[in-house]
Amino acid sequence: MKSLFARKSQKPILERCRKDQSSLMRQKYAPWYHSMDAQRKTRVEMNGRDMVMLTSNDYVGLTFHPKVIEAGKMALDKWGSSTTGARPANGSRRYHIELEEALASFLNKEACQVSSAGYISCATGIASFAQRGDVILADKSLHSSLWDGIRLSHASMERFSHNSAKSLRSELELLDPKVAKLLAIEGVFSMEGHISPLPELLDVSDEFGCFVVMDDAHGLGVLGKDGRGTASHFDVEDRVDILVGSLSKSLSSTGGFVAGDRESIEYLRTHSKQTIFSAALCPSQAACAKMALQIMQEEPEHRERLWANTKRYKNMLLDLKLDTWGSETPAVPVVLGSKERAYVFWKSLLEKGVFTVMSIAPGVPPGKDLIRTAISASHTAEDFEIIAEAFAYAVKKL
C-alpha cells in the first residue's frame, strides 16, 4: 500500500496547497485569523489578555444594546434557529418581509431583498442586472464582493480611477452609445475611509444612461439623515438605482440587502442565483438588524458619539504625524508604506493591548500597506488612553 505522502505527491492541487508560500508565511507570522475568547463591547479577551478592539465595523455600537440582544432572543424562541431553506422554496418567513419593508422605507426605496451575507448581496447586486454584451464601469478600489459580481455577470468591464468623475467620463466617451452600461461604485470605501463624490459621478453617469449600483455597507449608519447613508448625505437618493450593503456593520447583525425600485428587485428575485440557491437569513439575525435599524432612528446620540470619537482619534493620529490616507469617516487607515513596517506597527499595538488588522499589497496598492482601524460609538475614554499609549509606543518602535 502506498504511503500517505506518496499518494499526496501524485495530486498536483494538494502539492500546490502544501507548498503555497503565502499560506506558509501567513502561518509563520500569524497576522490574521486570531480567535477571541470573550467579548464585551469594545473589549475582547485573547490568549488570556484584555484588549481594545480597534478594527470592528460596529460603528454605531449597537452589538451589545439590550434591545438588540432581546430582539434576537425573542426571534429565536418564536422561529427557531433557521428556516433550513432558500427564500424561493421553503425559506421565506414573515420576519424577512418585515425587515425588507423597514429597510426599503429607511433607504427611500420601493423594495428590498435580504440575504444571509453581505458578500452575497453585493455580488448579486451586480451579477443580477448586468449580462453578456453590457459594459460595467468600475471604480478601481471596489470591494472584492463587487469584483466577483462583475465576473459572474459575464459583462465587459472598464476600470476608472478611484473617485474620479473625469476618468469615468473618459472611459464612457470611448464606448458605443447604444450598449447598456452599469456603474459600480461604493459610498464609503472601507479601506481608505473615502466618501464617494456621488453627485459628480451621477452627473456623468446620467448623461451616458448608466444604471447605478452603489455598495453603501460602510455609509449606512454613519452618513446621512438618521444614518441613511451616502446618497442621503448628498441628497441624491432618487438617482441611485440600486443600493447594496451589509447588516454586519452599523446594524449589528449578519446578512446583506439589495434595495431599489420594485421592478428591479422583482427582476433580481427571478434571476439571482445567489438568492435562489442560498439559505435564508436566520430569525435571530433578522430581528437584531431590524431592532438596530429602529434604534438608529430613535437614539441619535449613538451616531453623535461615533463622530465625536472619530474626531478625537484622528486628532491623536495627526499629533503623531501618522498618514490616514485622507480618511473622511470612522474607517481610518494608518498607512505605513511597506509590509515590513506595517507588521512591526501591528505587533507593537498588539503588545500594548490594542487589536487591529494589517492590510498589505495586493489587498491595497503597492506602497499603501497599512493598519486598518475603525472607530465605534462604544469606545470609551479609558479605551482611548490605552490606544494613545499603544500608538505612541508603536511609532517609537518604527
- List domains and CATH numbers for the chain: 28-57+300-397 (3.90.1150.10), 66-298 (3.40.640.10)
Q: What DSSP designation does 319 have? A: H
Given this model, what pLDDT does residue 8 score? 57
Report residue 36 as a C-alpha cell: 477571541
Given this model, what pLDDT does residue 243 score? 98
d(CA 319, CA 256): 38
d(CA 210, CA 72): 40
Given this model, what pLDDT does residue 66 score? 98
Given this model, what pLDDT does residue 10 score? 83
Local mean pLDDT, 10-residue blocks, the chain (398 residues): 63 93 93 94 96 97 98 98 96 98 98 97 98 98 96 98 98 97 97 97 98 98 97 98 98 98 98 95 98 98 98 98 97 96 97 96 90 98 98 96
- What is the secondary structure of 53-91 as a DSSP string? E-S---TT--TT-HHHHHHHHHHHHHH-S---SBIIIII
Given this model, what pLDDT does residue 7 score? 63
Given this model, what pLDDT does residue 309 score? 98
What stretches of 272-338 show up as alpha helix (H) in DSSP?
Answer: 273-276, 283-298, 301-319
Given this model, what pLDDT does residue 334 score? 98
Largest CA distance in the chain: 71
| CA 371 to chain centroid | 16
230, with CB counted inside 10 A (0-12, 13-18, 19+), is buried
- Classify each residue of 26-41 as buried b or exposed e, where b means 16 or more C-beta atoms within 10 Å of its C-beta: eeeeebeeeeeeeeeb
Given this model, what pLDDT does residue 225 score? 96
Q: How many CB atoms lie within 10 A of CB 393?
A: 14
Percentages of the chain per state (helix, strand, coil), in multiples of 5: 45, 20, 35
Cβ neighbors of 26 (< 8 A, separation 6 or more) are 32, 33
Given this model, what pLDDT does residue 373 score? 98
d(CA 281, CA 283): 7
Which three-class secondary structure state does DSSP give residue 231? helix
183 and 211 Cβ atoms separated by less than 8 Å: yes
Given this model, what pLDDT does residue 361 score? 87
- CA-atom Rg of the chain in angstroms: 22
d(CA 143, CA 122): 9
Given this model, what pLDDT does residue 362 score? 84
Q: What are 374's strand-pairing partners? A: 331
